[in-house]
A and B are shown apart, each in its own frame.
Chain A
Amino acid sequence: MRGGAPTAARAGVVPCGTCGLLSRPAGAVGPWTCPRCGDRIASRRERPFQDAWAYIVAAAICYLPANTLPVMTTRTIKYEEPSTIIGGVVYFYESGSWFLALIILVASVIIPLGKLASLAYLLATTQRRSTAYNRERARLYRLLKVIGRWSMLDVFVVAFVVALIQFQPFMSVVPGTGVLFFAAVVILTIFAADSFDPRLIWDAD
């Protein structure tokens, strides 16, 4: 579509980020406030990619300790056994619960890694002003926003196992630092997806 689709930016109107109302800026210089909700209206981010990249890098850094540090440790009179996320997957698989192993593998490994890789792909292609697969990239972005939260699964599992398995001195379970890094990965990837403006995908179109 040469000349471009009729977008708000091309028509000189600005949608309010809070309530969605379209309005025409009264003067050339801001700050403007939305006449309906009263929030400040920003035209677009000045450095649209920087925050998202920062969150992605931070999440990728946290992903390593999240998977290598134990998320919980089982203590009995005889032994003390730390377990990692992958350890939990292997444990369920070997004990015959391949379905649970699969759920944890998807929630804790595939979703966070897939989300990081997909966000990096979206950012990189959008930064190069690519117009290929726009619809698919838009769909991918919407998918990422929905699935990211499921990575918190293991944090909840640990919380409830820890709360219930407290039979001192025979057996008890304590949480490990891996949980904290895992929660950090989830939060950082949610921030990353939130700070990416999907309209940028279409700006080059």
Chain B
Amino acid sequence: MEPLAADIVACPDCDLLQRVPPLPDGGTARCPRCGRTLAHGRPGASDRMLALAVAALVVFLLANAEPLMRLSTAGQEVSTTVLGGAREMWRQGERTAALLVALFAVVAPFVYISAMLAVLLATRRPPAPRWVGVLLRWAEVSGLWSMVEVMMLGLLVALVKIARLASVAPRVGLFAVGALAFLLAAMSAGFDPREAWSRVRWADEGGGAGEALR
């Protein structure tokens, strides 16, 4: 396979070949054919992204260690964590659904944050080692299945539902989940996988920028 010049891209949505120009700060390149966003101009984005990822990791640990809400009725007190929701479903026999909740709410976000952290650190000084490519693929897949923002809304609905039956108070974990939802959204909006790939060492050592066509 012979690589083409690096600044020519094919739109992933409509296949149109085009050159992405250097973008001004805050500028956006859109495909003229289908309207898909192709690139953002963000100088210093990698430092900002790293700060977001570190914050997301801290908030993730908090969201999973702390109780989400506590309720009391008839002299009993109950509280739950994110995994507590999955554990109770598992105990009540809905095992597949319990595993899916754990996967979408805990495992996928954790893999996403860890992979992104490693990618952002490793691409600071290009060319990044080959394993960064593997992590970029992990980040893409885990990002697709990470549903913290959906869980956040689910928690709020559950809170209202439960408030009819018992007195319920939100705890630290709930606020942490809310913050995590925002941090993850900011991460996936600000990250440019194409740019990250351009910093990874090529699989075909002989190829690379030197032999690019035109």
- Establish whether residues A166 and B36, one from each chain, have CB atoms under 8 Å apart when the complex forms: no
Query: Total contacts A to B, CB within 8 angstroms?
Result: 224
Total interface residues on A, CB under 8 Å, equals 73
- Establish whether residues B92 and A175, one from each chain, have CB atoms under 8 Å apart when the complex forms: yes
Residues 154-174 of chain A, each 1 if its beta carbon lies under 8 Å from chain B, else 0: 111111111111110011001
- Establish whether residues A8 and B17, one from each chain, have CB atoms under 8 Å apart when the complex forms: yes
B178 within 8 A of A: no
A71: shortest Cβ distance to chain B, in Å? 10
Q: Which of A81-130 contact B (CB under 8 A)?
A: 95, 97, 100, 103-104, 107
- Cα(A83)–Cα(B16), bound, Å: 50
- Cα(A192)–Cα(B13), bound, Å: 16
Chain B residues within 8 Å of A158, by CB: 89, 97
- Cα(A150)–Cα(B1), bound, Å: 40
- Establish whether residues B34 and A202, one from each chain, have CB atoms under 8 Å apart when the complex forms: yes
- Cα(A167)–Cα(B75), bound, Å: 10
- Establish whether residues B17 and A164, one from each chain, have CB atoms under 8 Å apart when the complex forms: no
- Establish whether residues A138 and B34, one from each chain, have CB atoms under 8 Å apart when the complex forms: yes
B173: shortest Cβ distance to chain A, in Å? 11
- Establish whether residues B13 and A8, one from each chain, have CB atoms under 8 Å apart when the complex forms: no
- Establish whether residues A171 and B165, one from each chain, have CB atoms under 8 Å apart when the complex forms: yes
- Establish whether residues B147 and A149, one from each chain, have CB atoms under 8 Å apart when the complex forms: yes
- Cα(A174)–Cα(B98), bound, Å: 12
8 smallest beta-carbon distances between A and B, as pairs: A156-B154, A38-B203, A35-B204, A8-B10, A159-B85, A160-B158, A35-B207, A7-B15
Residues of A within 8 A of B (CB): 5-9, 11, 13-15, 18-26, 32-38, 41, 95, 97, 100, 103-104, 107, 134-135, 138-139, 141-142, 149-150, 152-167, 170-171, 174-177, 179-180, 183, 187, 190, 194, 198-199, 201-203
